[in-house]
Structure 1
């Protein structure tokens, strides 16, 4: 069964021992509370980690007017950007002010976390973390228990740790480069016998 907003809400409600919902437009306390928290919690969890499924790359639109001081160029923040991770190179200095990116780099590109609203695109690890955070945020309203909220917050932190491990293992591994400190100890990158079993 495909993931949906209702299914994510029901995962959160199940963690709280609450009644499940059939639609976010239900008039039940559970549906109203899910509606209140869903989007804000989703965006907060998206910002908490550079999720692979939500990562975007783009060339930035340079604005005609330069910043008043401090930087040479300013660019428009992409409309779907939730969190700007880096510009063209990892060491490029920048600051986000409102809907502008200020930097000294001409012709900048960006890597950012986009606002993904379609649950079908969510990673399964994200779904588990998101539902735990949603349960944590809704716990007081649904159960009236602050200890349940703390329990759900711990569940969220554990789910995020697992999700980060799974998500970060996708893609190419970082190459162990030759390093003077390692070379002084007889270790020469991946070719060193130290790395061979």
Structure 2
């Protein structure tokens, strides 16, 4: 079955022993609760880890307006940006609001984006999101703090496991050929 926002919320409701929903805009309390929480929980879960299914690369050109001081250029972050993973080629930058400030001519940005197409998600992310929705809806649905705590613990455990599996799908990052590292780990910088 292909994951959707509705299937994720319905499965979360099933975990809590509640009736499922067929749409987020249904006229009942369960659907209204799921609809109110879903986008925030989704963005939180996507931002919590650089999921392979939610990573993009883009080259940013500088904006016409410049920062008042400190940096030569300002770059507007993409509209779907949630978290910066890497800015290639520079370590001298800062993120302020929805902008990157830097002296670079262009920015090669690798970032976590707001992937709202659940059918493209990894199965582990779907499970994590389902448990996150169950944890967030637990008290409202069951009126039980122990159920809420139990769902939060299950979410934390599953999130740790999912992060480990997702992280193993990429080769390890290297430090590269930086002169400081070469000098630090060799005798006088000579290999």
Q: TM-score, normalised by structure 1?
A: 0.84
Using the TM superposition, name which of 17-26 and 50-59 deviates more.
17-26
Report if the CA contact (8 A) 2:61-2:105 is conserved. no
- Give the match for residue 73 of structure 1: 73
C-alpha deviations, 1:51-107, integer Å up to 9, x for none? 111001110121122211122211010111111222114x61322222211123221
What's the counterpart of residue 136 of structure 2?
A: 137
**Map 1:7-156 → 2, pairs under 5 A:** 7-89=7-89, 92-156=91-155
Q: Distance in 2 between matches of 1:183 and 1:95?
A: 32
- Hey, which bits of structure 1, 4+ residues long, moved more than 6 A? 179-184
Corresponding residue for residue 170 of structure 2: 171
Is residue 159 of structure 1 aligned with residue 158 of structure 2? yes
Partners of 2:127 and 2:51 lie apart in 1 by 13
**Counterparts of 2:112 and 2:152, CA distance in 1:** 23
Q: Is the 8 A contact 1:92 1:105 kept in 2?
A: no
Say whether the 8 Å CA contact 2:55–2:111 is kept in structure 1. Answer: yes
Contact conserved, 2:67 with 2:74, CA < 8 A, in 1?
A: yes
The unaligned stretches of length 5 or more in structure 1 are 185-197
Q: What whole-Å deviation, never above 9, does each CA across 1:11-41 have from its counterpart, x for those lacking one? A: 2112211111122222222111111111110
Instruction: Tell me the SS of whatever aligns to 1:20.
Output: coil
Work out the CA distance in 2 between the residues paired with 1:61 and 1:106: 7
Question: How well do the aligned residues superpose, as a CA RMSD in angstroms?
Answer: 2.4
Give 1:172 deviation, angstroms.
2.5
Q: Which runs of 5+ in 2 are unaligned?
A: 177-181
- The SS at the match of 1:40 is helix
- The 3-state SS of whatever aligns with 1:130 is helix
Q: What is the aligned partner in structure 1 of residue 179 from structure 2?
A: none
Structure 1 pair 176–55 and aligned structure 2 pair: CA distance change class (3 A): closer
State the shift of 1:149 in Å. Answer: 1.4
TM-score (norm 2): 0.86
